[in-house]
Amino acid sequence: MPDPAIDYGDVQGTILRGYRVDLARHFILTITAAPPARAFIGALVDGAGGLPRITTAARWTVKPKCFVNVAFTAAGLATLGVTSQQLATFDAGFQRGATSSTTANMVGDVGTSAPANWIGGLANGAQVHAILSLWVDDDPAVLESVTAKLRAAFAGAFSELSAHDAHALPDNKVHFDYRDSIAQPTVMGAPPRKAKHNAPDDQPQVPTGEFLLGYTNATPGVYSVQPSQLSTNSSYAAFRILEQDVAGFEAFLVQYAAQAGIDAETLAAKVCGRWRNGNPLELVPSGPAPVLPNDQLNDFTYVDTTNVADDDTLGIKCPIGSHIRRNNPRNQAIIGTNSTHHRIVRRAMPYGPRYDAKQPDNAKRGLIGYFINASITNQFEFLTSQWNQLATFVKSAPGPDPSCAGNAVFNISGQDVFLGVNDPASSSLTVAGCGANGAGNKAVTGFSRLVTTRGGAYVFLPSITGLRYLAALGTTPTG
């Protein structure tokens, strides 16, 4: 089947393109007056009045100095004039919103992560209407000057609940010191990634409809909403502010590596599925080693029953419960669904200062940004509530090496170390070894949650056609 032709100029850029910038600022906004808010949206689409133009996925010859995208919550769309009948056609999770108790319980936003404790006005989901995001290559002066223009333009239309800055760390590291931004889905019909940033893989390409409404998705079906102007080329995202306890993580590595009889760096790799330098355990199982070339970093699968040396059905190299294997089990067999049907595009960056173990501090730091998908229900919520929180989704599989006598179902326990709720009474990470019924396994148990949700919102990223439709609401008959 040929790749679908996507009108890149109609798609908000962050959905299909990684901007590869160093600075970001996210404005959390309430609409205070709908008519000027609509006018502001129209001005952003056209880049009128000295405003930066909304960045689309269209190719550029000269890299822009700044990138701007805008997204709306269900409450925001309603305030702009989208009717309740129309909103009823939107994704169920999106309609419910991030602060609903159903959502919070499902995705693990409980205890200190509960929405009631969220920062920056995000705790009151009803007042969060829009998130305006600005990304800048590396010049803080550009960030400030564009911020000033945006603030002047949205004053009187929106009130700013908060603004949240993010900045890249050297080598694309995230706090906890892992290299990030390696694996992303290859979306059918999307602009090709630049060769120097490309970490190719032989995983199946992901149907366009997993990331854009109006195209065939993996089911196969087509996600769409009413009215049609808001549908094709639009998408959804979970916006998340995830605070990381770096001192706690480093202490966890030292304490629990001893429990498993491995060294701290090996435990760090087992937790993530990659060494902190980015090398995947699947290809580099026994020590961080020099970083592989870019074109090899993501080129692996977990199961190869025809080749015992390359096979890792049992998760002996890369734990079945590691972060990257839970969030993308690749070709591993999964109960009740297809392992390739829940991919997500990650556009998040670190915030807060880099942690220095020699000068410990209590500064707030973590990861902030968008987890993008065409179905919050089947992608973000599925990942967080199922694969990250359960140890029962793996299909029975003995692996091709009879001398190992294991089965995949015994080789996963607990929840994701990064994203699980991780109560010390039940938390567990299996470090698998050979042996019948998990006899050769070691488990790390009794640890606490190391990532706390500090904010979130479910948002809709309208197409350019959709933004023009919203800008014109109230002035033309609704469709």
- Binding of ligand HEM at residue 453 (CB under 6 A)? no
Task: Output 75 or 183, the one with its CB closest to ligand HEM.
Answer: 183
One of 14, 55, 328, 441 touching ligand HEM (CB under 6 A) = 328
- Binding of ligand HEM at residue 190 (CB under 6 A)? no
Task: Output 215 or 418, the one with its CB closest to ligand HEM.
Answer: 418
One of 113, 327, 340, 422 touching ligand HEM (CB under 6 A) = 327
Give me the amino acid identity at 59. R
The mark string for 100-139 relative to ligand HEM (x by CB under 6 A, - otherwise) is ----------------------------------------
- Binding of ligand HEM at residue 451 (CB under 6 A)? yes
One of 17, 25, 317, 323 touching ligand HEM (CB under 6 A) = 323
- 94's enclosing H/E stretch is helix 92-96
One of 190, 284, 303, 324 touching ligand HEM (CB under 6 A) = 324
- Binding of ligand HEM at residue 300 (CB under 6 A)? no
**DSSP 8-class letter at 239:** E
Torsion 9-12-15-20 (CA) sign: positive
- 31's enclosing H/E stretch is strand 23-31
CB–CB of 372/399 below 8 Å? no
- Binding of ligand HEM at residue 174 (CB under 6 A)? yes
DSSP for 380-393, written as a single string = HHHIIIIITT-S--
135-152 burial by CB neighbour count: b if 16+ within 10 A, else e?
bbbeeeebbeebbeebee
The mark string for 233-262 relative to ligand HEM (x by CB under 6 A, - otherwise) is -------x-x-x------------------
Cα 26 from Cα 134, distance rounded (Å)? 6
Cα 304 from Cα 290, distance rounded (Å)? 25
- Binding of ligand HEM at residue 279 (CB under 6 A)? no
Could you give the dihedral angle defined by the CA atoms of residues 20, 293, 342 and 88, in that order, rounded to the nearest 10 degrees?
10
Distances (CA, A) of 64 to 16, 68, 142, 302: 16, 10, 11, 39
- Binding of ligand HEM at residue 14 (CB under 6 A)? no
- 246's enclosing H/E stretch is helix 246-260
Stretch that binds ligand HEM, among 15-23, 113-121, 163-171, 176-184 (CB under 6 A): 176-184
Task: Output 55 or 181, the one with its CB closest to ligand HEM.
Answer: 181
Pick out residues in 75-94 that bind ligand HEM (CB under 6 A): none
- Binding of ligand HEM at residue 166 (CB under 6 A)? no
Cβ at position 247, least distance to ligand HEM in Å: 15
Which among 437, 445, 379, 450 has a CA at the least distance from the CA of 410?
A: 437
Stretch that binds ligand HEM, among 172-180, 305-313, 352-360, 425-433 (CB under 6 A): 172-180
Distances (CA, A) of 396 to 247, 314, 375, 432: 37, 10, 28, 15
Cβ at position 49, least distance to ligand HEM in Å: 36
One of 419, 421, 457, 464 touching ligand HEM (CB under 6 A) = 419
Cβ at position 93, least distance to ligand HEM in Å: 13
CB–CB of 432/316 below 8 Å? yes
Cβ at position 350, least distance to ligand HEM in Å: 9
Q: For the chain, what percentages of helix, strand and coil (3-state, to nearest 5) are there?
A: 30, 20, 50
- Binding of ligand HEM at residue 183 (CB under 6 A)? yes
Cβ at position 144, least distance to ligand HEM in Å: 27
Site residues, ligand HEM (CB under 6 A): 174, 176, 178, 180-183, 240, 242, 244, 272, 274, 323-324, 327-328, 344, 346, 366-367, 371, 380, 383-384, 418-419, 451
